[in-house]
Amino acid sequence: MPRYLHRESHRTRRIGWLRAAVLGANDGIVSTASLLVGVAAAEVGRNELLLAGVAGLVAGAMSMAAGEYVSVSSQADTEQADLARERAELKAQPEHELRELAAIYIQRGLAPELALQVAQQLMAHDALGAHARDELGITETLSARPMQAAVTSAITFAAGASLPLLAALISPASLLVPAVAGTSLLVLTALGALAARTGGAPLLKGSLRVVFWGALAMGLTAVAGKLVGAVL
């Protein structure tokens, strides 16, 4: 590689793990805080409340891991099927695939002669890689990684869920709901800002949307817990 070239660090390289991490932590905080607030609204004892919170943490972490693994595995299966089909087409109809790749470059603004030259050189270097990237949109950066998504989601969910649980554990009984809700909203604000900064998005927008949905979830769950508790 020439000395004047340098490798740039782009935020798209973080999309896979960042999505799973933010989703896991956000769900851990929101679901566990909402569960605690809802159960507390039904006026149960602290032990029952903490038991419900721990059960929610474990169940949620496993649910997130399983859901992410299945979802991302399905994406990976689709990618592999598309690559297998493309590999077969390259073997059976190389000229057709060459023209197809050149047509893609023409649509992107290259002159026909130059597009054909580019397609020929790229296919001579790595035909399947060129079609995977430019025809199918499959790249190493954005490719599906099921295990990475599953483990990241489970760990970050558990980490997020532990925060409202800790607030419920150490707060006085009379301040339990405000402590859990306040702590959770504060952490959600920081999480939204961190995710926005890491992804290059506006900090305020990233924080507000996370806080809004978290507050809405806790509020609705508290109402449901109060109503069901009154009936039971």
Total domains in the fold of the chain: 1
Residue 130 belongs to some domain of the structure? no
pLDDT given at position 185: 93
Over 90: is that where the pLDDT of 134 sits?
A: no
Angle between helices 176-199 and 203-231 (to 10 degrees): 150
Give per-residue pLDDT as tens, 62-112.
998 898 889 888 888 888 888 888 889 888 888 898 888 899 999 888 898
Task: Output the 3-class SS for 41-68.
Answer: HCCCCHHHHHHHHHHHHHHHHHHHHHHH
Q: Give the number of C-alpha atoms closer than 13 A to the C-alpha of residue 37, restricted to the C-beta side.
A: 27
Kindly state whether residue 75 falls inside one of the protein's structural domains. yes
- pLDDT at 12 (0 to 100): 47
Please indicate, yes or no, if residue 59 is contained in any of the structural domains: yes
Residue 134, in any domain of the structure = no
List the one residue out of 194, 187, 192 whose CA is nearest residue 210. Answer: 192
pTM for this model (two decimals):
0.70
207: in domain: yes
pLDDT of 142 over the 70 cut = no
Q: Can you give the pLDDT at residue 161?
A: 93
CA distances from 144 to 84, 140, 147 (A): 16, 9, 9
Cα 41 to chain center, whole Å? 31
Kindly state the average pLDDT of the residues 9-37: 74
Judged by average pLDDT, the poorest of 51-55, 77-81, 173-177, 197-201 is: 197-201
Residue 120 lies in a domain: no
123 inside domain: no
pLDDT of residue 33: 93
CA pseudo-torsion sign 64, 66, 72, 74: negative
In this structure, are residues 166 and 146 in contact, taking their beta carbons and an 8 Å threshold?
Answer: no
Domain that holds residue 176: 13-91+146-227
- Give me the chain's average pLDDT, please: 84
pLDDT confidence band for 153 (50 / 70 / 90):
confident
Q: Which two tokens stand for residue 55?
A: 């059960």
User: Please, is 200 exposed, middle or buried when counting C-beta atoms within 10 Å of its C-beta (0-12, 13-18, 19+)?
Assistant: exposed
Assess if residue 172 is contained within a domain.
Answer: yes
pLDDT exceeds 90 at position 140: no
Condensed to tens digits (0 to 9), the pLDDT of residues 185-209 reads 999 998 888 777 776 778 888 788 8
